Amino acid sequence: MIKINTRQKLLKATMELVNEFGLHNTPTSKIAKSAGFSEATIYKNFSSKDELIIEVYLEIKADLNQAFSVGVDHSIAFEERTKKALTNYLNYFLSHPDELMYFLQFSNSFYMNKVVHEMGKTKLEYVNQYITENIEKGYIKNMPFAFYEAFVNAPILEVARACHMGGLEISNELREMVITNVIDIMLVNK
């Protein structure tokens, strides 16, 4: 059995409560109680509620970075490799509804300032390296990073959100269509 440490329990409780009550309606007292600790435990592990809120987002980014690379074979053609990576990305949010809801809420909050945005990008080391290498090889269009977020991130997040909200049943055909359209936006020769 995997033992969950204090910090992980606080992060999980924060994500669950923020998803239920919102960023501003989740006091540290409620987080501590849900995690089974005193409020002082939060401040032994984090300097502030803001740090705790940001850390949940950064943990999701780190998990996403890891999920993106699973089974991506660099010996196969770029388009197939990218299809696998983007499918991993979509599947991560389809199989992690709590992380998706937190990610969306956080991304649209005042917490998402330039500093936090840059911190989040550092958690996507594999993703950033993948984009950079494939720009250099001439496979991916050389665009500002914000464009990749808009053209790649937004469609995948919105499809996952629609699935979790009950408005969309995702089939393999629809999944393929989403990923193909995202790839078409990125590729140089499309």
CATH number at residue 18: 1.10.10.60
The Cα 58–Cα 147 span in angstroms is 20
Q: Which pLDDT score is estimated for 1?
A: 46
Other beta carbons less than 10 A from residue 36's beta carbon: 11
CA-nearest of 181, 153, 155 to 168 is: 155
> Would you give the DSSP letter of residue 136?
H
The pLDDT value given to residue 190: 59
**88 and 163 share one domain:** yes
Q: Do both 168 and 127 map to the same domain?
A: yes
The answer to whether 34 and 18 are in contact (CB under 8 A) is: no
Same structural domain for residues 18 and 112? Answer: no
pLDDT at 151: 87
CATH, residue 150: 1.10.357.10
Here the tokens at position 80 are: 């197939």
Q: So what's the pLDDT on residue 4?
A: 66
pTM of this structure: 0.88
Residue written as tokens 């408005």? 167
Residues in the chain: 190
Report CA-CA distances (Å) from 141 to 16, 43, 65, 138, 148.
38, 44, 21, 7, 10
The whole-angstrom separation of Cα 139 and Cα 133 is 9
Tell me which residue range forms the domain holding 15.
1-46
- Does residue 170 share a domain with residue 138? yes
Q: How many domains does the chain have?
A: 2
Low-confidence ranges of the chain (pLDDT < 70): 1-4, 190
